[in-house]
Chains A and B, each alone.
Chain A
Amino acid sequence: AQSVTQLGSHVSVSEGALVLLRCNYSSSVPPYLFWYVQYPNQGLQLLLKYTTGATLVKGINGFEAEFKKSETSFHLTKPSAHMSDAAEYFCAVSDQGSGTYKYIFGTGTRLKVLA
């Protein structure tokens, strides 16, 4: 069975500082991995995804993530935080092994950006 663990339910960073949100996964097949962002009172918006190929994936709003098979990780980073990055971030793995492509979500990390 697949699973996702997000370390840190709350992360605070200063404006301009590095953002690092951690995601580890468990999967019996090569994983498809996703990061979504949820701004207050909004739905989930896709930030980036990894399916195959290049392990460093660039997404929207300056975010990127690196797939590391050996560490079973897919951490999300951004070099310089902006106030507008304050949101909740979800990591997810797709159950493509069964053909259903259902998502298994992590429990989320709420990012706070300090002025």
Chain B
Amino acid sequence: DADVTQTPRNRITKTGKRIMLECSQTKGHDRMYWYRQDPGLGLRLIYYSFDVKDINKGEISDGYSVSRQAQAKFSLSLESAIPNQTALYFCATSDLADGAITQYFGPGTRLLVL
């Protein structure tokens, strides 16, 4: 079983729609992250969370919001999707007990905004 899961794996939506991408982990890690991947740009950090009550913006948080419902769950929302949010989205986790050094990635959600 995968340690970090993301749902849905693929999503097509229309401009202006609200959508939520979900991430769950069974690793028991404290920290969770959301990234987006665009061709030629690598991965860029959207939001990160150190625990349920500690959420921080990354370098490209505009147009996104997050919710850390529990230690194991971290959701990313697009309140009003726009075409330039078409991308591959990854969730990742890291363990503070390990010095939070290594991040473990989910399989990704491919989002297309029409």
- Chain A interface residues toward B at CB < 8 A: 9, 32, 34, 36, 42-46, 49, 51, 90, 94, 96, 100-103, 105-108
A105 contacts B100, CB within 8 Å? Answer: no
Given contacts A43-B105, A46-B102, A51-B101, is CB(A105)–CB(B48) below 8 Å? no
Cβ-closest 9 pairs across A and B: A105-B42, A43-B105, A44-B105, A107-B42, A101-B100, A105-B43, A43-B107, A108-B42, A43-B108
Contacts of A44 in B (CB 8 A): 43, 90, 92, 105
Task: Name 21 A/B residue pairs within 8 A (Cβ), A-sorted.
Answer: A9-B40, A42-B107, A43-B106, A43-B108, A46-B102, A51-B101, A90-B42, A100-B48, A100-B56, A101-B31, A101-B99, A101-B100, A101-B101, A102-B48, A103-B33, A103-B103, A105-B35, A107-B40, A107-B41, A107-B42, A108-B42
- Chain B interface residues toward A at CB < 8 A: 4, 31, 33, 35, 40-45, 48, 56, 58, 90, 92, 94, 99-108
A106 contacts B42, CB within 8 Å? Answer: yes
Contacts of A100 in B (CB 8 A): 48, 56
Contacts of B100 in A (CB 8 A): 101
A103 contacts B45, CB within 8 Å? Answer: yes
